[in-house]
Amino acid sequence: MQNSFLAKSRIFVSFGRIKTIFLSKPHIFFISGLGADHRAFDRIKLDGYEQTHLPWIVPEWKDNMHTYARKMAEPIMNAENPVVIGLSLGGMLASEMTTFIPQLRVILVSSIKSHEERSNILKLGRAFPIQHLMPPNTMQRFTFMWELAQKKRLQGDGKHMVEMFKDQNDKFMRWAIVNAPKWRGKGDESRIAHIHGTLDRMFPFRRIKNAIPVHGGTHLMVYVKGEEVTRLILQELNRIEGVQ
């Protein structure tokens, strides 16, 4: 695979002359899920691409999903051929970004493209928004229960994931669990590829439209099935490069 600084070229015939247009390889931006950071993508290997992991920005309480997406998108706005790989909540934000970044391509993993695909959990959070009453450090108090529930599925990697979860900013976590259920956005599906696990309980597969299935994949498949998810992402990147 070519290095990220190498350009692709196409030859077009224009007014009887041969014209060569150089297009750079996509610049990959990663946005992780709620309770996660760059470590969630440790098993996604995309050699040959320029890659940037976008850290969570501490939001203002007045932010909604759209205004927060605009803040997260600042490093992307001037990138050439940007592609965002969004995981879970990060995918929702990436989908929202397609509404104001016309050149953006998005690959969702274990996420949703619009409010129409949201799960019952998010619907309940919108109908009964009691989550804003949670006291500080609430999310960190769930880490022990989460570790016990996921220990077998993570195949010995639970400590790595729980440490990542504990490191998250509590203000961001509280903002996210209040605002994610309120999201009513809908991304430009013509520029979104969607990779989704058939056993995802957070966002059930039956609600997802036009997804590339990962059979047996759960909400944590980006880590548990990293090799398979990598292969599917590379397929989509090749497709994106082919239609530029």
Give tens-digit pLDDT for 14-29: 334 433 344 579 999 9
pLDDT higher than 80, residue 179: yes
Expressed in angstroms, the distance from the first to the final Cα of the chain is 17
Structure tokens at 207: 């609600």
> Any idea what the Cα angle at residue 154 is, between residues 124 and 109, rounded to 5°?
55
Confirm whether 144 is domain-assigned.
Answer: no
Domain that residue 74 falls in: 7-114+187-243
Mean pLDDT of 225-244: 91
Phi, psi of 201 (to 5 degrees): -90, -25
Residue 69 lies in a domain: yes
Residue 162: predicted pLDDT: 66
Cβ of 156: how many Cβ atoms within 10 Å?
Answer: 8
For 48-52, 115-119, 140-144, 192-196, which range has the lowest pLDDT when averaged over its residues? 140-144
182, two tokens: 């309120």
Residue 204: inside a domain: yes
Write down the pLDDT at residue 128.
Answer: 38
Strand locations in 123-178, DSSP E? none
CB atoms within 10 A of CB 97: 27
The answer to whether position 177 is within a domain reads no
Strands 50-53 and 27-31: parallel
Our count of domains for the chain comes to 1
Burial of 62 (0-12, 13-18, 19+ CB in 10 A): exposed
What CATH number does residue 94 fall under? 3.40.50.1820
| pLDDT exceeds 90 at position 237 | yes
Mean pLDDT for 76-95 is 96
Residue 170 lies in a domain: no
pLDDT tens-digit profile of 119-178? 665 544 444 344 454 554 555 444 444 444 555 555 555 566 667 777 778 888 888 888
pTM for the model stands at 0.80
Q: Provide the percentage of residues in the chain whose pLDDT is more than 70.
A: 71
Amino acid making up residue 69: A
Least confident of 151-155, 177-181, 210-214: 151-155
- How many CA atoms does the CB half-sphere of 82 hold within 13 Å? 22
In-domain check, residue 160: no
Q: Checking DSSP bridges between strand 212-214 and strand 105-109, what pairing results, if any? A: unpaired
Across 16-40, b (16+ Cβ under 10 Å) vs e yields eeeeeeeeebbbbbbbbbbbbbebb
Q: How many Cα atoms sit within 13 Å of 22 on the Cβ side?
A: 4
Q: Which two tokens stand for residue 124?
A: 């309940």
Residue 174 lies in a domain: no
- Cα–Cα distance between 121 and 206 in angstroms, integer? 15
Q: Is residue 194 packed enough to be buried (19+ CB in 10 Å), middle (13-18) or exposed (0-12)?
A: buried
Say which DSSP state 114 is in.
Answer: B
Q: Is residue 151 in some structural domain?
A: no
